[in-house]
Structure 1
Amino acid sequence: MPLYKRLFKSLYSPKYIAASRLLGIGKTIQYLFILSFILCLPSCLSVFIHLTAGSSPAKAIESILPSLAANEEFTRQMLFIYIPVVLLFYYILLSFGLFLKAAVFAGIGLFLISFLSKRGEYRHLFRLSTHALTLSVFVTVLIDWANWTFPYAYAADWLIVTIMLYLSIRWLPHATR
């Protein structure tokens, strides 16, 4: 199944998320990297909009790093190196965060599996939790683009993923006795 169909079906279908446990680990890792790229887009776009909106890049960097403001010409020349490096580091950090989040939710899924007496292993739950992250990532991106903030955003994020994981675990086969 193409990636865009997997993204779309993971937004609304716990049955498809449960079926995604049979995908290979390579496709799951690719899916996590795509999710982290989608999560990185609002920040990257806001950086480029901020730098091209007429505000001086030197003043923006001066407010962040006052020690670099001493040599303004050097700062302007190096700006085209700093920004891609920082954005690449941000993407790598987001990817690591999503991998860690998927691993934590796979551990939570182990408790849900034993509670619901379903059959599954950690490797299946890692794939399920990866696809359960999709709705949370898209909600986060929409909130970032709308420039909204609200309290308990992380709790709501984790609640969305937990509910999607719970609903998808319900579609797994029962454990044999």
Structure 2
Amino acid sequence: MNIFKQYYKSLFSPKDIAMFRFQGIGKSILYVFLLTLIFSLPDMVYYSKEVATSVSAVKESFSEDVPSFVIEDGVLSSENKEPYSERKGDLGIVVDSSGALEPSDIRAMGETLAFLKNELVWTVGGKNETIPYTMFAGAPFSNKDVESFFTFANDSLAIFIPILVLTLYITYLGMKFIEVTFLAFFGLLLKNLAGRKLQYRHLWRMSAYSITMSTTFFTIMALLKTQVPSGFMINWFVSATILLLAIKEVPASKKAKKQ
């Protein structure tokens, strides 16, 4: 059975997932690689587009409109005492030396890059990334330094974006392997409860396919930009349920049947 047919079967057939325990470990590992690649593509495209658009917008804003400021000793200071805000396309640019705005205020503004009094806040995809200025040890830097950085970044997108895509893929791949490994360990408990004689290597192979349904669901939700409450718990519950159903499809040993 080719790997794409395995994907299709893994969406609804615990019986087929149980049969996959007999295949070589290499094919199961390859399945995790391909599953991760297919379902990380939306994020790869989204973040690549966002980075390219955002870098260009920030570069343009800092070269034309953003008021002068200096960041020194972890604090932003500016002659402009009122918060400055503008939008370039889908990206908002904020500079606030007054301390009037908090990171929580930035989240409500949509996709925004905000230079607040004590931290840099970047909101993308409904999530806030906050970096205190104290992390930038060394000499003070100004809006001109930020402009120079984003000019360099804009000129280097052809190098930076492939690195970003590769980093995302490796990160997601590592997370998937960890997920499969822990699910297989949990499968040791499930197979005892179900009275099935299975080794860890069988459970690892079955776990690799048991995550297909939950991975597909959360990928669709990501494409729809819909946040799923308690997503972590739902993911593990669905995957564990599929694994348990697959374990039950494994014939019980004669000893277990007699009992």
Deviation at 1:81, TM superposition (A): 1.2
Query: Secondary structure, in 3 states, of the residue corresponding to 1:120?
Result: coil
Name whichever structure is richer in helix by fraction.
Answer: 1
- Number of the residue aligned with 1:6: 6
Deviation at 1:135, TM superposition (A): 0.6
Give matches, 1:146-165, under 5 Å. 146-165=224-243
- Residue in structure 1 matching 2:199, options 121, 137, 145: 121
| C-alpha contact (below 8 Å) 1:39/1:140 kept by paired residues | no
- Number of the residue aligned with 2:38: 38
Unaligned 5+ residue runs, structure 1? none
- Residue in structure 2 matching 1:74, options 140, 152, 155: 152
Deviation at 1:48, TM superposition (A): 3.8
Query: Secondary structure, in 3 states, of the residue corresponding to 1:41?
Result: helix
| C-alpha contact (below 8 Å) 1:18/1:128 kept by paired residues | yes
Match for 1:151: what amino acid? P
Match for 2:28: what amino acid? T
Q: Which whole-Å CA distance do the structure 1 matches of 2:28 and 2:228 have between them? A: 31
Deviation at 1:51, TM superposition (A): 5.2
Deviation at 1:59, TM superposition (A): 3.6
- Superposed CA deviations along residues 8-42 of structure 1, whole A, max 9, x for unmatched, are 00000000000000110110010000111122111
Query: Secondary structure, in 3 states, of the residue corresponding to 1:118?
Result: coil
Q: Which whole-Å CA distance do the structure 1 matches of 2:210 and 2:202 have between them? A: 12
Runs of 4+ in 1 over 6 A off after TM superposition: 65-68
- Change over 3 Å in CA distance of 1:60–1:39 after alignment to 2: farther
- Number of the residue aligned with 1:134: 212
Match for 1:158: what amino acid? W
CA RMSD of aligned residues (A): 2.2
Task: Between the two structures, name the one with larger relative contact order (CA 8 Å, sep ≥ 6).
Answer: 1
Q: Which whole-Å CA distance do the structure 2 matches of 1:56 and 1:104 have between them? A: 37
TM-score (norm 2): 0.63
Match for 1:17: what amino acid? I
Q: Which whole-Å CA distance do the structure 2 matches of 1:60 and 1:88 have between them? A: 24
- Number of the residue aligned with 2:187: 109
| C-alpha contact (below 8 Å) 1:69/1:75 kept by paired residues | no
| C-alpha contact (below 8 Å) 1:18/1:169 kept by paired residues | yes
> Which protein is bigger by CA-based radius of gyration?
2
Say yes or no: does 1:90 pair with 2:168: yes
Match for 2:146: what amino acid? A
Name whichever structure is richer in strand by fraction.
Answer: 2
Q: Which whole-Å CA distance do the structure 2 matches of 1:40 and 1:60 have between them? A: 26
- Number of the residue aligned with 1:16: 16
Give matches, 1:43-58, under 5 Å. 43-50=43-50, 55-58=53-56
Query: Secondary structure, in 3 states, of the residue corresponding to 1:12?
Result: coil
